[in-house]
Structure 1
Amino acid sequence: MRKKHILLLTLIGLVALLAGCTEINQPITEESTGIWNNWFVYPLSWFITYMAELFNENYGLAIIIVTILARLLLLPLNIKQLKSSRAMQEIQPKLQELQKQYSSKDQKTQQKLQEETMALFQKNGVNPLAGCLPIFVQMPILIAMYHAIMRTEEISTHSFLWFELGSPDPYFILPLIAGGATFFQQKLMMAGSPAANNPQMQVMLYVMPIMIGVFAIFFPAALALYWVVGNVFMVAQTLLINKPMMRNNNNNTGGDKK
């Protein structure tokens, strides 16, 4: 868990560095140079503009559609993440037994613990890095979305519902929804699992929604809209995936009891 958090913080730092190295005030066009502009920002800017033109220059609706399409593309990774997360939660008791059995801090014992832990993971189909993979993919998309919004005049200057896409939500409605949806989605993932009693997971349950909400307060409303739609999509996805998984687990438990 600790290594995963360090990896996540490192990724966020690298993405922040990447974002800082690009001139945010420079308009994005077909003539823009650099791998970041040519492969991430401009294609996203072009696609949002194209979708908006199909719907009478409704850039807010275009961002919603692009967000849903992006989530659909990431769906296989997210399904793998949810299954691996559920499997990780189910083996927590066995993992804790191993940690107690090999509690000594000498190198030989710790090496044995790592070997037994990896064997337990392989036996139950758990990939410890599965939860990080969607984050690795989503972070560049998120930063590219930010640049596409700020560096495309057509997007940043248009309004949608009660807010301007290029400015923060003046009524803080989107940040509240983004934070609430993040909390609900994490709560759903933890429901009925041993991780619900894990102090670290309990902290993350509240810290992540607060972070998302605070970021959404200061960032353009278009980016907050992207977060809201993406989080609502993730809630629906978690509900659809978890129900059959929990049903199968209950059936297996019932079969074992018999």
Structure 2
Amino acid sequence: MTRINKWVKTIGFLPLLLAALAIVGIVLADLSYSGHVAGSGLWGGFVAIFIRSILGVSSWFSSSYGLGIIVFTVFVRFLILPLMVYQVDSMKKMQGLQDEIKALQDTYPGRDTESRQLLAAAQQQLYKDRGISPFASMLPLLVQMPVLIALYQGIHNSPVLRSGSFLWLNLGHQDPYFILPILAALFTFGSSWLSTQANPQQNAMTKAMPYVFPFLILFTALAVPSAVSLYWVVGNLFQMVQTFFLQNPFKMRREREEALALEKEKARKVRKAQRSKKRKKR
């Protein structure tokens, strides 16, 4: 119970409330669809629920399947919002441990198997003592991947979604004007750039992420149905806005600069006091 209370305190009331409302919305959407969607097995049943929910949301908007996908995507983003908040909190805590981790790496250089094992054990103990999960960053991805796969299969398994249209799009075919793939890539760049700018400790891989991922999304979105691209556009836009509020790099950079200035001021006062003490001794 104590661990659950700590988890709830870390995430906050609003993300949990939005996640609860998303669950209610998904269930109501599924129940509001009166048609039949076939699905066999555990995975088939999951895909069927997914399709029914999109069609149910679409029925709220006069069978606009594009709006159904947009609203359902927002439901999914709200559903995983607590995991995203938990991920950001863990990342911030891990950034605060960089000096301690570097000290452990100096103690255990990792030049042999025993040293690497000792380093891994020491890092795990450090994370445990600080209440940090180094695998927290994987949780949102593990949730999103089944949703994305289910969406892709749902489009192909549902003649209704496959034949649906939205604005200039045929949801079962690629975007003929490449607008959605470009938007998906741009929003991916925006969220990745904001995330990396919020992290002062960057290596070559993290610096390259904002430029590599958008190209992967762009070329993938060019080959998938517009419904999947639409999901990416809405989801990545949500992710970009969410990253700005949870990991505002401008605010975090200002806080780091203020902390650094405070440390320099303290160091200056210490040096001044030491010089004054030396003069008195003379």
TM-score (norm 2): 0.73
In 2, Cα distance between the equivalents of 1:47 and 1:73?
14
Counterpart position of 2:64: 58
1:225 alignment partner in structure 2:
230
> What is the distance in 1 between the residues matched to 2:95 and 2:176?
40
Q: Which residue of 2 aligns with 1:22?
A: none
Alignment of 1:1-258 (within 5 A): 29-38=36-45, 40-196=46-202, 198-243=203-248, 246=252
* Code of the aligned partner of 1:35: L
Contact 1:90 1:194 survives alignment (8 Å): no
Which residue identity does 1:117 align to in structure 2? Q
1:130 CA displacement: 0.5
Deviations along 1:100-149, one digit per CA (max 9) or x if unpaired, are 33214223322221222123323444321101111111100110111112
User: Any gaps of 5 or more consecutive residues in structure 1?
Assistant: 1-27
Q: Which amino acid aligns with 2:193?
A: K
- Shifted more, 95-104 versus 238-247: the winner is 238-247
2:42 aligned partner, one-letter code: I
In 2, Cα distance between equivalents of 1:241 and 1:29: 40
In the superposition, relative to structure 1, how do residues 192 and 73 fare at CA in structure 2: closer, same or farther (>3 Å)? closer
Q: What's the CA shift for 1:93?
A: 4.2
d(CA) in 1 for partners of 2:159, 2:239:
30
The size of the alignment, in residue pairs, is 229
Secondary structure in structure 2 of the residue aligned to 1:47: helix
Q: Is the 8 A contact 1:29 1:42 kept in 2?
A: no
SS in structure 2 at match of 1:170 = coil
Question: 2:77·2:235 contact (CA, 8 Å) conserved in 1?
Answer: yes
Provide, for residues 138-188 of structure 1, a one-character-per-residue CA deviation record: whole Å limited to 9, x for no partner: 100110111112211111111111111110111111111111111110111
| Mapped contact 1:92–1:194 kept (Cα < 8 A) | no
Q: 1:179–1:213: 8 Å Cα contact kept in structure 2? A: yes
Q: Give the 3 Å change call, closer, same or farther, for CA 248–49 of structure 1 in structure 2.
A: same
> What is the CA–CA distance in structure 2 between the aligned matches of 1:188 and 1:202, rounded to whole Å?
11
Indicate if the aligned counterparts of 2:73 and 2:235 stay in contact, CA closer than 8 A: yes
**Pairwise CA RMSD:** 2.4
2:233 counterpart letter in structure 1 = V
Identity %: 37
The structure number with the bigger radius of gyration is 2
TM-score with structure 1 setting the length: 0.80
Gaps of 5+ in 2: 1-34, 267-282
> C-alpha separation between the residues in 2 aligned to 1:223 and 1:193?
30
Q: Deviation per CA, 1:202-242: give whole Å up to 9, x if none.
A: 23332222111111000001100001100110111111112
Tell me the amino acid that sits aligned with residue 187 of structure 1.
Answer: W
